[in-house]
Amino acid sequence: MSVHRIISTINGKAVEREVEARLTLADFLRHELRLTGTHLGCEHGVCGACTVIVEQKAVRSCLLFAVQVDGKDVNTVEALSTGDDLSPLQRAFQKHHALQCGFCTPGILNTAHAFLKDNPEPMADRVRDVISGNICRCTGYVRIINAILDAAPSYRKIT
Amino acid sequence: MKPASFDYFKPTTLEEAAVLLSKYGEDAKILAGGQTLVPMMNFRLVTPQMLVDINDVEGLNFIEQRDDAVRLGALVRWCEIETSPVIAKIHPLLSEAVKSIAHYQIRNRGTWAGSCAHADPAAEFPAVALISNAKFSLFSTRGRRLVSAADFFLGPLTTALDADEILVDVEIPCHGCNCFWAFEEFALRTGDFAIAGVAVMIDHDNREDPVRFVAFGIGDKACRLPTAELVIAKLGLTDKTIHEAAAGIGNDFEVRADIHASAEYRLALTKVLLERSMNRVLASGYHR
């Protein structure tokens, strides 16, 4: 068993901690940093609930070890908005009733956020494909896809 | 579940990684994308004593176009293959196949080399490597050796890699100008492992081996379909020969039955996918 000192940028803030090698990023965020917005479902990369953004890419935090994000930039659902304001993506989810129990929602928001930053003019089929890695058992996906498509214009840069 | 304890090393050179592997052998596992290894560790199906994280190793993350081939370093992730304009141009079959691999978030992290080292019989990349006659480059403290895709995959989760070796790159011959191809797979849901899949390449500029068909997800490993290839090589690809070619593939491999599909269903499905692929080749403007 090895223990490692890591320094990462989590939601814009530098965080320094000692971590056991086997600690997953998901458990690090939830148990060590108390960032419980990241939900942990299947723990083997199938359900997508634990999706966070590492170096601008949506990834499963249950399939990364905390030691692997040493020196890296990590964003969780807590960083999507500041204060009481919702981000345009979050507002779209509210408007379209794109969540019920909310367990899968942080993972879907992070997936959609990272995706829309790279693809601000997506076709519905592409959104469907991207979101296929996130399991929602309440709403069905129609409202989720509508919300993501509705939020897309807010990601387009004004040139 | 949570993984068992292990020691973690993060070498920055290939030599350093090779020394660690030669020292710890079977007790060590290489961590690249981790999209298969880490779930297996979380379930404690594997409990390596040590992980050698190669993500910081210099010189493993490249897509290099050569005259008649493309080379991929071990750290190239699925999302990079998927969005590479070079690969879309010179190996469109690979671009197409990658779209069927797992999900968006997994493709952001998983690597082709990890998939090949794991060698799941239902994986897409080994099938593409086999049909393209790709060559894998293996590195250890003993040196470097090249192994063809046909010799690399030995069986389910079994490859030619020795415990002290690292899969460092793959060289995949590009499509010729007159290469026609198709890729088809069937899975229960988007991103699931294929119940069966088929890749087809017909390249008359390749005089030695112009007709190549590969099936995957159906047996111990991806395999060529020599019976069907022979029918098409002899009689040509036409509306009339497609059915005859697909009908004989039952002799080409041993079909696997599992919880997802019986052997009979898998074989029938593979025939359908092969016919569909050949029809797609015809529809893509195929000519001799």
Nearest CA in chain A to B190: A132
pTM: 0.96
Predicted pLDDT at B278: 98
Encode pLDDT of B228-256 as tens digits. 999 999 999 999 999 999 999 999 999 99
**A104 has pLDDT over 60:** yes
**Whole-number Å distance between alpha carbons of A116 and B22:** 44
Residue B169: strand pairing partners: B73, B137
pLDDT at residue number B201: 97
- Residues of B contacting chain A (CB within 8 angstroms): 1-8, 10, 31, 34-35, 38-39, 42-43, 51, 53, 55, 79, 102-106, 108-109, 189-191
**How far apart, in whole angstroms, are the C-alpha atoms of residue B64 and residue B80?**
12
The 10s digit of each residue's pLDDT in A52-74 is 999 999 999 999 999 999 999 99
Q: What would the mean pLDDT of B131-158 be, rounded to a whole number?
A: 98
What is the predicted ipTM? 0.96
| Chain B residues closer than 8 Å to A51 by CB | 105
d(CA B33, CA B17): 16
Q: Does domain B63-173 have CATH number 3.30.465.10?
A: yes
Mean residue pLDDT across chain A: 96
Other C-beta atoms lying within 10 Å of the C-beta of residue B240:
9
CB proximity under 8 Å: A 70-109 to B:
none
Please report which helix (H) or strand (E) contains residue A6, including its range: strand A3-10
A21: nearest CB among B8, B43, B108: B8
Which residues have C-beta within 8 Å of that of residue A158, sequence separation ≥ 6?
Answer: none
The ranges assigned to domains in chain B are 7-53, 63-173, 179-283
* Contact state of A132 with B103 under an 8 Å Cβ cutoff: yes
Mean pLDDT of all residues belonging to chain B: 96
pLDDT exceeding 90 applies to what percent of chain B? 93
The phi and psi torsions of B99 (rounded to 5 degrees) equal -60, -25
> Which chain A positions have a beta carbon within 8 Å of B3's beta carbon?
22, 24
Q: Rounded to an integer, what distance in angstroms lies between the CA atom of residue A15 and that of residue B267?
A: 54
Euclidean distance between CA atoms B130 and B144, whole angstroms: 21
With CB atoms and an 8 Å threshold, state whether B104 touches A129. yes
Q: Answer yes or no: is pLDDT of B180 > 90.
A: yes
Question: What band does A84 get if pLDDT is binned at 50, 70 and 90?
Answer: confident
**CB under 8 Å to B139, separation ≥6 — which residues?**
B14, B18, B165, B166, B168
> What would the mean pLDDT of B75-93 be, rounded to a whole number?
97
The structure tokens 């020691």 sit at: B7
The domain B179-283 is classified under which CATH number: 3.30.390.50, 3.40.50.620, 3.40.710.10, 1.10.10.10? 3.30.390.50
Amino acid letter, A21: A
CB A19 within 8 Å of CB A32: yes
Give percent of chain B above pLDDT 70. 100
Choose the mutation target among A55, A63, A134 for the interface with B, i.e. most B CBs under 10 Å.
Answer: A63
Is B42 close to A129, i.e. CB distance below 8 A?
A: no
How far is A131 from A125, CA to CA, in rounded Å?
10
Tokens for A68?
């692997």
Q: Is the pLDDT of residue B209 over 80?
A: yes
Predicted pLDDT of residue A61: 98
Q: Which residue has the tokens 């593979």?
A: B270
Q: What pLDDT is stored for residue A148 in this prediction?
A: 98
Q: Work out the number of other CB atoms within 10 angstroms of the CB of residue B235.
A: 12
User: Of the candidates A21, A27, A133, which has its C-beta nearest B105's C-beta?
Assistant: A133
Hey, what amino acid is at B227?
Answer: T
Helices within B77-212 (DSSP H only): 78-82, 85-90, 92-98, 104-107, 112-118, 124-131, 149-152
Nearest to B39 among A20, A45, A132 (CB): A45
pLDDT grade for A158, boundaries at 50, 70 and 90: low
Task: Please write the tens of the pLDDT for every residue from B19-28.
Answer: 999 999 999 9
**Sequence-ordered alpha helix ranges (H) in B25-107:** 37-42, 78-82, 85-90, 92-98, 104-107
Tell me the chain A residues in contact with residue B38 when contact means C-beta distances shorter than 8 Å. 24, 45, 62-65
Q: Any residues with CB less than 8 A from the CB of A49 and at least 6 apart, and which?
A: A39, A40, A41, A42, A103, A104, A106, A107, A134, A135
**pLDDT for A159 beyond 60:** no
Q: Which CATH architecture has domain B7-53?
A: 2-Layer Sandwich (3.30)
pLDDT at A56: 97
Q: How close is the nearest chain B Cα to the Cα of A51, in Å?
A: 8
Domains of chain A, start order: 3-79 (3.10.20.30), 88-155 (1.10.150.120)
CA A10 to chain centre: 13
pLDDT in tens, A116-140: 999 999 999 999 999 999 999 997 8
Selection from A35, A28, A112, A36 nearest residue A65 by Cα: A28
**Strand-strand pairing, B223-224 and B28-31:** unpaired
Q: Which residues of B touch A132 (CB under 8 A)?
A: 103-104, 189-191
Mean pLDDT along residues A26-45: 97
A24: contact with B, CB 8 A cutoff? yes
Buried b (16+ CB within 10 A) or exposed e, B81-118: bbebeebeebbebbbbbbebbbbbbbbbbbbbbbbbbb
Q: Are B171 and B71 in contact (CB under 8 A)?
A: yes
Rounded Cα–Cα distance for residues B153 and B126 (Å): 8
Specify the pLDDT at position B16: 98
Give the residue carrying structure tokens 């961590």: B31
B8 vs A4, A57, A60: nearest CB:
A4
Find out whether A138 and A100 touch, Cβ atoms under 8 Å: yes
* Chain B CB within 8 Å of residue A133 CB: yes
Average pLDDT of the residues in A32-49: 97
Note the pLDDT of residue B67. 86
Phi, psi of B210 (to 5 degrees): -75, -30
